[in-house]
Amino acid sequence: MPRGDRMSAATETERAAGEEGLAAYRFILTVLAYAVPFVFILLPLILFLIQSFYYVEDGNIVHQLTLRNYERFFAGRGFVPVFFNTILLCLGVAAITVLFGYPIAYLLASLRGRRKYVMMVVFVVPLMMSYIIKIYAIRAILGGNGFLNRILLYLGVVDEPLTFLIFNLKAVLVTLSIILLPFAVLPIFIALERIPRSVVDASADLGASAFQSFRDIVWPLSVQGTIVGATFVFVLALGDFITPQMVGGMSGFTFGRIIYSQFGFAFNWPFGAALSVILLVVVLVAIVGTGLITRARHQL
Binders of other proteins among residues 170 to 199 (CB under 8 A) are: 178, 181-182, 190, 192, 197
CB 118 within 8 A of CB 294: no
Tell me phi and psi for residue 266, to 5 degrees. -70, -25
Compute the residue count for the chain.
Answer: 300
Per CB under 8 A, the segment of 5-13, 67-75, 160-168, 270-278 that binds other proteins is 270-278
- When binding is defined by CB under 8 A, the residue of 56, 266, 287, 293 that contacts other proteins is 287
**Pick 227 or 279: Cβ nearer other proteins:** 279
Q: Is 155 in the site for other proteins (CB under 8 A)?
A: no
Tell me phi and psi for residue 52, to 5 degrees. -70, -10
Per CB under 8 A, the segment of 5-13, 66-74, 135-143, 292-300 that binds other proteins is 135-143
Neighbouring-strand partners of residue 62 = 55
CB 91 within 8 A of CB 234: yes
Q: By three-state DSSP, how is residue 242 classified?
A: helix
Per CB under 8 A, the segment of 5-13, 66-74, 155-163, 200-208 that binds other proteins is 200-208
- Least Å distance between CB 130 and other proteins? 5
**Pick 169 or 191: Cβ nearer other proteins:** 191
**Residues with Cβ < 8 Å from 53, sequence gap 6 or more?**
65, 66, 67, 69, 270, 274
Alpha helices in 52-78, H assignment, sequence order: 68-75
Task: Report the site for other proteins in 246-265 (rule: CB under 8 A).
Answer: 246, 256, 259-260, 263
Q: Is 131 in the site for other proteins (CB under 8 A)?
A: yes
Q: Is 153 in the site for other proteins (CB under 8 A)?
A: yes
CA angle 238, 241, 245 (to 5 degrees): 130
**Pick 75 or 288: Cβ nearer other proteins:** 288
Q: Is 23 in the site for other proteins (CB under 8 A)?
A: no
The whole-angstrom separation of Cα 215 and Cα 178 is 27
Task: Report the site for other proteins in 60-119 (rule: CB under 8 A).
Answer: 100, 103-104, 106-107, 109-110, 119
- When binding is defined by CB under 8 A, the residue of 137, 162, 266, 293 that contacts other proteins is 137
Burial state string for 232-250 with b = 16 or more CB within 10 A and e = fewer than 16 = bbbbbbbebbebbbbbbee
Per CB under 8 A, the segment of 1-9, 25-33, 67-75, 79-87 that binds other proteins is 25-33
